[in-house]
Amino acid sequence: MTTHDTRPGSAGGADTPGPLHGGPDDDYTPEQLAAMSRDDLDRLGARYDGVQVLHVDPGPEPGSALERRYVRQVGAVFMLAGLAAFAFVVVYVGSGWFLPDWEWTIDAGTWSSLFTPLLGLLMGLSLTLVGVGMVLYSKKLLPHETAVQDKHDGSHFDRVTTGATLVSGLHKSGLARRKLITRSLAFMGGGLGLMLLMPLGGLLKNPNTGNPLGRTSWAQGVRLLRDDGTPIRPGDQVPGSLETVFPAVTGGNRESDAATMLIRLRPEQVAVDRPREGQADFGYGDYVAYSKICTHAGCPVSLYEQETSRILCPCHQSQFDITQGAKPIFGPATRALPQLPLALDDEGYFVARSDYIEAVGPTYWNRERI
């Protein structure tokens, strides 16, 4: 290798252009190309790109009845597409101006209930017709040609020369020999990678401090309120009924885990009621309260079937038997719904005796330890 480039350049001598980029200009003089027909030029270029046009079905003869017919068809389709598009514009702009209002009204069968369907119909029609027109055009009016393109495998020459360039560059850098540099590079790379990841640490939050997972707003003396904020006395509900209640704290009825079902058992149910161990006194008279949050994946369980004493979760159909401490008896849930210990306050309204004694909602790794 030498630093003396003998070719002329900006440092002196004439600056002559190199060979032209691309096609084989040396094989085809401009005169030769000018003498060729457009079709031949097309084929020539295609051949140069490894494409042979085998067979052309020229499409309908110019001026023939067939052509006129297809031209009419395609033209009509495009025309209709344009019409539908303009109709869309009219509906969009005109509603509330020279057409009735598009805004929502409570009655069915008005313009407003037609507005969206009309927009969709017209835009859909217009776009579909554009597509149909294009396909029709290519099927009926374009010549059908069958072309064959060669597929090439990689070139040995390219592989060997590229490999040589890569390896020689690497070789010249001497990285393979200079171990200290490779090691420091690896160290640096690891550090940099970690450093750039660090800000993601801002996402982390300790789930174990303050026990937010195992807690709800229920606590000793907190009243059970209906969604509308009214408290409940024994006797307000008929036997066999269920009401959803929330803790009497601000935002209690929006709290994700606090929703509770207050159920008044029927006498037959009371007779067979077998509460969970150690929770026999959690109920109050014929009332029991269970968490509404499914222990499977956290949906609110909602369907209460009195005859079978079952509560069904609509999400994956777990079923809980409220005469057996809300134990799951079918479906994917594995744990009973936690029970809320009940009492009455001085005014005779239902209150909680404490928070739930276990975490409500879905199971997780260390749930039993919280």
Q: Taking a C-beta distance cutoff of 8 angstroms, is the pair 59, 144 a contact? A: yes
Q: Is residue 25 involved in binding another protein (CB under 8 A)?
A: yes
Give 222's contacts (C-beta < 8 A, 6+ positions apart): 247, 248, 249, 351, 352
Q: Tell which positions 153-182 bind another protein, by CB under 8 A.
A: none
Distance CA 268, CA 247 (A): 29
Closest to another protein by CB, 80 vs 344, is 80
Pairing verdict, β 303-305 and 260-264: unpaired
Sort 239 into a burial class: Cβ within 10 Å, 0-12 / 13-18 / 19+.
middle
- The SS3 of residue 223 is strand
Q: Tell which positions 332-351 bind ligand FES, by CB under 6 A.
A: 332-333
Minimum distance of another protein from residue 71's CB (angstroms): 13
Q: Tell which positions 247-306 bind another protein, by CB under 8 A.
A: 253-257, 259, 292-293, 296-300, 302-303
Minimum distance of another protein from residue 182's CB (angstroms): 29
Instruction: For the chain, report the end-to-end CA distance as a whole number of angstroms.
Output: 74
Q: Is residue 24 involved in binding another protein (CB under 8 A)?
A: no
Q: Is residue 318 involved in binding ligand FES (CB under 6 A)?
A: yes
Please give the backbone phi and psi of residue 197, each rounded to the nearest 5 degrees, phi first: -80, -25
Q: Is residue 22 involved in binding another protein (CB under 8 A)?
A: yes
- The SS3 of residue 268 is helix
Distance CA 258, CA 141 (A): 70
Q: Taking a C-beta distance cutoff of 8 angstroms, is the pair 329, 307 a contact? A: no
Minimum distance of another protein from residue 5's CB (angstroms): 25
190 is written with which tokens? 């690891």
Q: Tell which positions 28-67 bind another protein, by CB under 8 A.
A: 30-31, 33-34, 45-46, 49-55, 57, 65-66
Closest to ligand FES by CB, 207 vs 314, is 314
Distance CA 302, CA 323 (A): 16
Q: Tell which positions 238-297 bind ligand FES, by CB under 6 A.
A: 294, 296-297
Contact partner at residue 308 from another protein, ligand FES, none, CB < 5 to 8 Å by partner kind = none
Q: Is residue 299 involved in binding ligand FES (CB under 6 A)?
A: yes
Minimum distance of ligand FES from residue 287's CB (angstroms): 23
- The SS3 of residue 37 is coil
360 is written with which tokens? 């409500």
Q: Is residue 20 involved in binding another protein (CB under 8 A)?
A: yes
Minimum distance of another protein from residue 364's CB (angstroms): 4
Contact partner at residue 55 from another protein, ligand FES, none, CB < 5 to 8 Å by partner kind = another protein
Q: Tell which positions 321-360 bind another protein, by CB under 8 A.
A: 328, 330-335
Point out which residues pair with 319 in neighbouring strands: 312, 330
Q: Is residue 184 involved in binding another protein (CB under 8 A)?
A: no
Please give the backbone phi and psi of residue 78, each rounded to the nearest 5 degrees, phi first: -65, -40
Q: Is residue 316 involved in binding ligand FES (CB under 6 A)?
A: yes
Minimum distance of another protein from residue 24's CB (angstroms): 11
Among 123, 273, 331, 353, interactor with ligand FES by CB under 6 A = 331
- The SS3 of residue 166 is helix
Point out which residues pair with 289 in neighbouring strands: 262
Contact partner at residue 287 from ligand FES, another protein, none, CB < 5 to 8 Å by partner kind = none
Contact residues toward ligand FES (CB under 6 A) are 294, 296-299, 313, 315-316, 318, 331-333
